[in-house]
């Protein structure tokens, strides 16, 4: 006997008519659900139950639990590598079941679905203009909504409907006050007449699994010379390098990383441990033109 507590979902699974696969918009998933639980699989089941031919891509499910900033960074450095029309679903949601809003952000080329907790901050800064909706239309949700798993009950079905061509304007009302986290905006940089900029303060926006410190300074900011000072260890690193092995093993370096930002690294070592710095910490940087 086939049983399903959500009759609406069951009806769609058995009797739906869908669009051809070539018309479906691909969907990516970013979560902190890990790889050893049923959460991600169930989200995919909901998506395929509504849109069986959907292309669903696992971007990352190893986000640290509740780490909104890590999820924001991961999405920021990834979304542009997907084809236009992709729907990016990001669920790191410590406020699930509270008054926090589910939101849909629509740019010229992409759609982003997430809780309104700042996760979409870098996307909203980069994708301008971007229309943001507070999603309230329950026609796009499962019938029974839990207070603890909106990834399954709200975000996954919403993505499935949008993949089929649902109109974003029908999902809810436009808002102009989505949550924006600090630290992702690059600091203002200007040079004096001598070409020297006094020390500015950069922020570590991400520490990757190798311990590299990725700052909020875009690669495009740099001219010729740079130095970074670490107050905790009384260490200064000067000059940009082209590769990690341009210094001896165990030595620190500055490099313009593949993420598009200035990166502080240690060749085959851990810069986070070496300089006692973590995500959110500030660094003093001097740039000369």
- C-beta separation of 141 from 172 below 8 A: no
Q: What is the pLDDT along the chain (289 residues), one digit of tens a residue?
A: 344 455 545 444 433 444 444 578 999 999 999 999 999 999 999 999 999 999 999 999 999 999 999 999 999 999 999 999 999 999 999 999 999 999 999 999 999 999 999 999 999 999 989 999 999 999 999 999 999 999 999 999 999 999 999 999 999 999 999 999 999 998 876 666 665 556 778 899 999 999 999 999 888 777 557 778 776 777 888 888 999 999 999 999 999 999 999 999 999 999 999 999 999 998 888 776 5
Q: Please give the Cα distance from 190 to 15 (Å, whole number).
A: 62
Q: What are the tokens at 31?
A: 């979560």
Q: Please give the Cα distance from 172 to 175 (Å, whole number).
A: 9
- C-beta separation of 71 from 112 below 8 A: no
Structural domains present in the chain? 7-175 (3.40.50.10790), 196-288 (2.40.30.90)
């Amino acid at each position: 006997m086939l049983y399903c507590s959500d009759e609406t979902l069951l009806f769609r699974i058995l009797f739906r008519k869908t669009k051809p696969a070539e018309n479906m918009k691909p969907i990516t998933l970013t979560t902190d659900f890990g790889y050893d639980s049923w959460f991600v699989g169930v989200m995919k089941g909901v998506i395929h139950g509504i849109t069986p031919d959907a292309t669903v891509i696992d971007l990352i499910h190893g986000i640290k639990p509740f780490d909104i900033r890590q999820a924001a960074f991961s999405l920021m450095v990834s979304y542009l590598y997907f084809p236009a029309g992709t729907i990016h679903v990001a669920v790191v949601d410590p406020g699930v079941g509270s008054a926090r809003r589910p939101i849909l952000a629509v740019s010229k080329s992409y759609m982003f679905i997430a809780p309104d907790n700042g996760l979409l901050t870098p996307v909203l800064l980069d994708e301008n203009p971007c229309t943001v909706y507070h999603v309230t239309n329950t026609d796009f949700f499962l019938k029974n909504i839990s207070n603890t798993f909106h990834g399954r009950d709200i975000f996954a079905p919403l993505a499935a409907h949008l993949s089929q061509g649902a109109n974003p304007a029908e999902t809810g009302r436009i808002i102009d006050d989505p949550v924006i986290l600090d630290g992702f905006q690059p600091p203002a940089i200007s040079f004096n007449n001598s070409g020297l900029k006094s020390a500015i303060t950069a922020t570590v926006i991400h520490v990757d699994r190798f311990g590299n410190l990725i700052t909020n300074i875009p690669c495009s900011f740099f001219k010729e010379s740079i130095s970074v000072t670490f107050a905790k260890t009384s260490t200064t690193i000067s000059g940009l390098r082209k590769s990690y092995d341009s210094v001896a093993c165990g030595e620190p370096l500055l490099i313009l990383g593949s993420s598009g930002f200035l990166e502080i690294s240690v060749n085959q070592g851990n810069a986070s441990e070496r300089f006692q710095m973590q995500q959110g910490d500030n660094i003093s940087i001097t740039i000369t033109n």
